[in-house]
Amino acid sequence: MSRTTVRVENLSVQFEGKFAAFTAISDVNLTLFPSEFVCVLGSSGAGKSTLLRVLAGVLEPTQGAITVQTDDRAARVWKSSDQEPTRALVFQNSNLLPWMSVLDNVTLPLRVEGVSVGTARDLGMKWLAKVGLSGVENEWPDTLSGGMAQRVAIARALIREPELLLLDEPFGSLDAITRETLSEELLRMWDTVRPTVLMVTHSVSEAVLLADRVLIFSPPPGRIVAEVEIPLPRPRREDQRYDPEFIELTKRLRGLIGANPSQLYSKK
Protein backbone atom coordinates (compact mmCIF):
# COMPACT_ATOMS: atom_id res chain seq x y z
CA MET A 1 0.00 0.00 0.00
CA SER A 2 1.29 3.44 -0.94
CA ARG A 3 3.01 5.37 1.83
CA THR A 4 4.26 8.38 -0.10
CA THR A 5 2.86 11.88 -0.52
CA VAL A 6 3.85 13.58 -3.79
CA ARG A 7 3.78 17.38 -4.11
CA VAL A 8 4.02 19.20 -7.42
CA GLU A 9 5.05 22.81 -6.86
CA ASN A 10 4.94 25.62 -9.44
CA LEU A 11 5.62 23.20 -12.27
CA SER A 12 5.99 24.47 -15.82
CA VAL A 13 7.13 22.74 -19.01
CA GLN A 14 8.16 24.62 -22.12
CA PHE A 15 9.15 23.10 -25.46
CA GLU A 16 11.39 24.86 -27.95
CA GLY A 17 9.78 25.00 -31.39
CA LYS A 18 11.32 25.90 -34.74
CA PHE A 19 10.13 29.50 -34.55
CA ALA A 20 8.92 29.99 -30.98
CA ALA A 21 8.71 28.28 -27.61
CA PHE A 22 5.50 26.52 -26.58
CA THR A 23 4.41 26.31 -22.96
CA ALA A 24 2.58 23.02 -22.34
CA ILE A 25 1.81 23.48 -18.63
CA SER A 26 2.25 26.51 -16.42
CA ASP A 27 2.42 26.91 -12.64
CA VAL A 28 0.83 23.55 -11.78
CA ASN A 29 0.45 22.86 -8.06
CA LEU A 30 -0.85 19.50 -6.88
CA THR A 31 -0.62 17.15 -3.91
CA LEU A 32 -1.19 13.40 -4.30
CA PHE A 33 -1.88 11.65 -1.03
CA PRO A 34 -1.08 7.99 -0.28
CA SER A 35 -3.46 5.50 -1.97
CA GLU A 36 -5.53 8.31 -3.50
CA PHE A 37 -7.12 7.93 -6.94
CA VAL A 38 -7.08 11.24 -8.85
CA CYS A 39 -8.39 11.81 -12.38
CA VAL A 40 -7.52 14.69 -14.70
CA LEU A 41 -10.01 16.09 -17.22
CA GLY A 42 -9.51 18.79 -19.83
CA SER A 43 -9.42 19.53 -23.52
CA SER A 44 -6.95 17.82 -25.86
CA GLY A 45 -3.55 19.49 -25.85
CA ALA A 46 -4.02 20.94 -22.37
CA GLY A 47 -0.79 19.40 -21.04
CA LYS A 48 -2.29 16.54 -19.04
CA SER A 49 0.00 13.92 -20.57
CA THR A 50 2.96 16.25 -20.12
CA LEU A 51 2.31 16.32 -16.38
CA LEU A 52 2.24 12.51 -16.27
CA ARG A 53 5.52 12.27 -18.15
CA VAL A 54 7.21 14.61 -15.71
CA LEU A 55 5.94 12.52 -12.80
CA ALA A 56 7.10 9.35 -14.58
CA GLY A 57 10.61 10.76 -14.85
CA VAL A 58 10.76 10.72 -18.65
CA LEU A 59 10.52 14.51 -19.03
CA GLU A 60 12.32 17.23 -17.10
CA PRO A 61 10.29 20.31 -16.06
CA THR A 62 11.39 23.75 -17.17
CA GLN A 63 10.76 25.11 -13.71
CA GLY A 64 9.25 24.02 -10.43
CA ALA A 65 9.89 20.92 -8.37
CA ILE A 66 8.40 17.63 -7.24
CA THR A 67 8.89 16.66 -3.60
CA VAL A 68 8.08 13.35 -1.96
CA GLN A 69 7.62 12.40 1.67
CA THR A 70 7.44 8.78 2.79
CA ASP A 71 6.06 7.99 6.24
CA ASP A 72 7.52 10.43 8.77
CA ARG A 73 10.75 11.09 6.92
CA ALA A 74 11.61 14.60 5.79
CA ALA A 75 10.37 15.70 2.38
CA ARG A 76 12.93 15.61 -0.41
CA VAL A 77 13.14 16.77 -3.99
CA TRP A 78 12.25 13.95 -6.39
CA LYS A 79 14.55 13.80 -9.39
CA SER A 80 13.70 12.00 -12.61
CA SER A 81 16.40 9.38 -11.97
CA ASP A 82 15.08 8.45 -8.52
CA GLN A 83 13.74 4.90 -8.20
CA GLU A 84 11.94 5.41 -4.89
CA PRO A 85 9.01 5.55 -4.62
CA THR A 86 8.36 3.09 -7.42
CA ARG A 87 6.26 4.39 -10.28
CA ALA A 88 4.73 2.96 -13.42
CA LEU A 89 3.21 4.57 -16.52
CA VAL A 90 0.51 3.03 -18.74
CA PHE A 91 -0.16 4.66 -22.12
CA GLN A 92 -3.25 4.75 -24.34
CA ASN A 93 -1.62 2.08 -26.49
CA SER A 94 -0.48 -1.04 -24.69
CA ASN A 95 3.09 -0.81 -26.08
CA LEU A 96 3.61 -4.55 -25.68
CA LEU A 97 6.80 -5.92 -27.23
CA PRO A 98 5.63 -8.03 -30.19
CA TRP A 99 8.55 -10.48 -30.07
CA MET A 100 7.78 -11.43 -26.45
CA SER A 101 5.01 -13.66 -25.14
CA VAL A 102 2.29 -12.23 -22.93
CA LEU A 103 4.00 -13.61 -19.83
CA ASP A 104 7.40 -12.23 -20.85
CA ASN A 105 5.82 -8.79 -21.40
CA VAL A 106 4.24 -8.84 -17.95
CA THR A 107 7.41 -9.96 -16.17
CA LEU A 108 9.79 -7.66 -18.07
CA PRO A 109 10.05 -5.03 -15.26
CA LEU A 110 11.01 -7.72 -12.75
CA ARG A 111 13.58 -9.34 -15.02
CA VAL A 112 15.18 -5.94 -15.71
CA GLU A 113 15.59 -5.58 -11.94
CA GLY A 114 17.28 -8.97 -11.71
CA VAL A 115 14.42 -10.95 -10.14
CA SER A 116 14.88 -14.69 -10.67
CA VAL A 117 13.08 -16.33 -13.59
CA GLY A 118 11.01 -18.57 -11.31
CA THR A 119 9.87 -15.76 -9.02
CA ALA A 120 9.08 -13.48 -11.98
CA ARG A 121 7.07 -16.25 -13.64
CA ASP A 122 5.06 -16.95 -10.49
CA LEU A 123 4.24 -13.28 -10.03
CA GLY A 124 3.43 -12.90 -13.72
CA MET A 125 0.98 -15.79 -13.62
CA LYS A 126 -0.62 -14.32 -10.50
CA TRP A 127 -1.15 -10.93 -12.13
CA LEU A 128 -2.45 -12.43 -15.36
CA ALA A 129 -5.05 -14.23 -13.25
CA LYS A 130 -5.92 -10.94 -11.51
CA VAL A 131 -6.63 -9.27 -14.86
CA GLY A 132 -8.66 -12.23 -16.09
CA LEU A 133 -6.11 -13.57 -18.57
CA SER A 134 -5.20 -16.98 -17.19
CA GLY A 135 -4.34 -19.31 -20.05
CA VAL A 136 -2.97 -16.72 -22.50
CA GLU A 137 0.52 -16.45 -21.02
CA ASN A 138 2.15 -18.07 -24.08
CA GLU A 139 0.22 -16.07 -26.68
CA TRP A 140 1.79 -13.32 -28.79
CA PRO A 141 0.59 -9.71 -28.40
CA ASP A 142 -0.76 -9.53 -31.96
CA THR A 143 -3.29 -12.28 -31.16
CA LEU A 144 -4.91 -10.21 -28.40
CA SER A 145 -7.89 -7.88 -28.63
CA GLY A 146 -7.41 -4.24 -27.63
CA GLY A 147 -9.00 -4.84 -24.24
CA MET A 148 -6.85 -7.89 -23.56
CA ALA A 149 -3.69 -6.00 -24.54
CA GLN A 150 -4.51 -3.20 -22.10
CA ARG A 151 -5.09 -5.77 -19.36
CA VAL A 152 -1.59 -7.08 -20.03
CA ALA A 153 -0.17 -3.54 -19.91
CA ILE A 154 -1.87 -2.90 -16.56
CA ALA A 155 -0.60 -6.21 -15.17
CA ARG A 156 2.91 -5.26 -16.30
CA ALA A 157 2.58 -1.93 -14.47
CA LEU A 158 1.18 -3.43 -11.27
CA ILE A 159 3.52 -6.41 -10.98
CA ARG A 160 6.06 -4.26 -9.14
CA GLU A 161 3.29 -2.97 -6.86
CA PRO A 162 4.26 0.66 -7.56
CA GLU A 163 3.47 3.40 -5.09
CA LEU A 164 2.57 5.78 -7.92
CA LEU A 165 0.59 4.53 -10.94
CA LEU A 166 0.27 6.95 -13.86
CA LEU A 167 -2.44 6.18 -16.43
CA ASP A 168 -2.51 8.16 -19.67
CA GLU A 169 -6.00 7.57 -21.16
CA PRO A 170 -5.48 3.79 -20.93
CA PHE A 171 -8.94 2.90 -22.29
CA GLY A 172 -9.23 5.66 -24.89
CA SER A 173 -8.83 3.40 -27.92
CA LEU A 174 -11.40 0.82 -26.75
CA ASP A 175 -15.09 0.50 -27.53
CA ALA A 176 -17.57 1.80 -24.95
CA ILE A 177 -18.60 -1.58 -23.55
CA THR A 178 -15.02 -2.82 -23.14
CA ARG A 179 -14.05 0.51 -21.61
CA GLU A 180 -16.78 0.29 -18.96
CA THR A 181 -15.81 -3.27 -18.12
CA LEU A 182 -12.14 -2.39 -17.74
CA SER A 183 -12.94 0.65 -15.60
CA GLU A 184 -14.65 -1.58 -13.06
CA GLU A 185 -11.80 -4.11 -13.25
CA LEU A 186 -9.27 -1.33 -12.73
CA LEU A 187 -11.03 -0.41 -9.49
CA ARG A 188 -10.79 -4.01 -8.34
CA MET A 189 -7.09 -4.23 -9.21
CA TRP A 190 -6.34 -0.87 -7.59
CA ASP A 191 -7.98 -2.08 -4.40
CA THR A 192 -5.55 -5.04 -4.34
CA VAL A 193 -2.37 -2.97 -3.85
CA ARG A 194 -3.79 0.55 -3.38
CA PRO A 195 -1.16 2.60 -5.23
CA THR A 196 -1.59 6.33 -5.56
CA VAL A 197 -3.09 6.88 -9.03
CA LEU A 198 -3.07 9.89 -11.34
CA MET A 199 -5.13 9.12 -14.43
CA VAL A 200 -5.79 11.22 -17.52
CA THR A 201 -9.17 10.56 -19.11
CA HIS A 202 -11.56 12.28 -21.51
CA SER A 203 -14.56 10.44 -20.10
CA VAL A 204 -16.36 12.45 -17.42
CA SER A 205 -18.39 9.49 -16.16
CA GLU A 206 -15.25 7.36 -16.00
CA ALA A 207 -13.60 10.00 -13.79
CA VAL A 208 -16.60 10.08 -11.45
CA LEU A 209 -16.64 6.28 -11.19
CA LEU A 210 -12.93 5.96 -10.42
CA ALA A 211 -11.70 9.02 -8.60
CA ASP A 212 -11.51 10.42 -5.10
CA ARG A 213 -10.79 13.81 -6.68
CA VAL A 214 -11.08 15.18 -10.21
CA LEU A 215 -8.83 17.97 -11.48
CA ILE A 216 -9.87 20.23 -14.37
CA PHE A 217 -7.12 21.47 -16.69
CA SER A 218 -7.44 24.70 -18.64
CA PRO A 219 -6.66 24.95 -22.37
CA PRO A 220 -2.90 25.39 -23.02
CA PRO A 221 -0.85 26.40 -21.28
CA GLY A 222 -2.41 23.88 -18.92
CA ARG A 223 -3.21 24.84 -15.35
CA ILE A 224 -5.42 23.26 -12.73
CA VAL A 225 -8.42 25.57 -12.65
CA ALA A 226 -10.85 23.49 -10.59
CA GLU A 227 -10.86 20.55 -8.21
CA VAL A 228 -13.89 18.46 -7.31
CA GLU A 229 -14.13 15.90 -4.52
CA ILE A 230 -16.04 12.72 -5.42
CA PRO A 231 -17.81 11.66 -2.20
CA LEU A 232 -19.31 8.43 -3.54
CA PRO A 233 -18.71 5.51 -1.15
CA ARG A 234 -16.36 2.67 -2.03
CA PRO A 235 -16.37 -0.01 -3.30
CA ARG A 236 -17.99 1.39 -6.44
CA ARG A 237 -19.94 -0.43 -9.12
CA GLU A 238 -20.56 0.16 -12.79
CA ASP A 239 -24.33 0.50 -12.25
CA GLN A 240 -23.74 3.55 -10.01
CA ARG A 241 -23.51 5.60 -13.22
CA TYR A 242 -27.34 5.77 -13.11
CA ASP A 243 -27.61 7.04 -9.52
CA PRO A 244 -28.84 10.66 -9.11
CA GLU A 245 -25.72 11.75 -7.17
CA PHE A 246 -23.47 10.27 -9.87
CA ILE A 247 -25.39 12.08 -12.60
CA GLU A 248 -25.21 15.40 -10.74
CA LEU A 249 -21.44 15.07 -10.31
CA THR A 250 -21.11 14.32 -14.02
CA LYS A 251 -23.13 17.42 -14.93
CA ARG A 252 -21.02 19.56 -12.59
CA LEU A 253 -17.75 18.39 -14.13
CA ARG A 254 -19.03 18.91 -17.67
CA GLY A 255 -19.95 22.46 -16.75
CA LEU A 256 -16.49 23.13 -15.33
CA ILE A 257 -14.75 21.80 -18.43
CA GLY A 258 -16.79 24.12 -20.64
CA ALA A 259 -16.48 27.18 -18.38
CA ASN A 260 -14.42 30.26 -19.14
CA PRO A 261 -10.99 29.64 -17.53
CA SER A 262 -10.81 33.21 -16.22
CA GLN A 263 -14.01 32.62 -14.24
CA LEU A 264 -12.55 29.46 -12.71
CA TYR A 265 -9.29 31.20 -11.81
CA SER A 266 -11.25 33.80 -9.86
CA LYS A 267 -12.95 31.07 -7.81
CA LYS A 268 -9.76 29.34 -6.76
Q: Is the pLDDT of residue 158 over 80?
A: yes
Q: Is the pLDDT of residue 171 over 60?
A: yes
- Whether 16 is covered by a domain: the verdict is no
> Across the beta sheet with 164-168, what order do the strands follow?
87-90, 164-168, 196-200, 37-41, 213-217, 224-229
Average pLDDT, the chain: 89
Higher pLDDT, 59 or 263: 59
- Whether 151 is covered by a domain: the verdict is no
Q: Which CATH number goes with the domain that contains 257?
A: 3.40.50.300
For 14-43, write each residue's pLDDT tens digit. Answer: 988 777 788 899 999 999 999 999 999 998
Around Cβ 104, how many Cβ atoms within 10 Å?
A: 17
- Whether 242 is covered by a domain: the verdict is yes
Instruction: State whether residue 187 is helix, strand or coil.
Output: helix
Number of compact structural domains in the chain: 1
| For range 2-25, the mean pLDDT | 86
How many angstroms separate the CA atoms of 167 and 200, rounded? 6
For 226-265, write each residue's pLDDT tens digit. Answer: 999 999 999 888 889 999 999 999 999 999 987 655 555 4
Give residue 176's domain range.
Answer: 26-93+162-267
What's the pLDDT at 267?
Answer: 47
- Whether 144 is covered by a domain: the verdict is no
What's the pLDDT at 216?
Answer: 95
Read off the pTM. Answer: 0.91
Instruction: Provide DSSP, 36-102.
Output: -EEEEE--TTSSHHHHHHHHHTSS--SEEEEEEEETTSPPEE--TT--SS-EEEE-SS----TTS-H
- Whether 154 is covered by a domain: the verdict is no
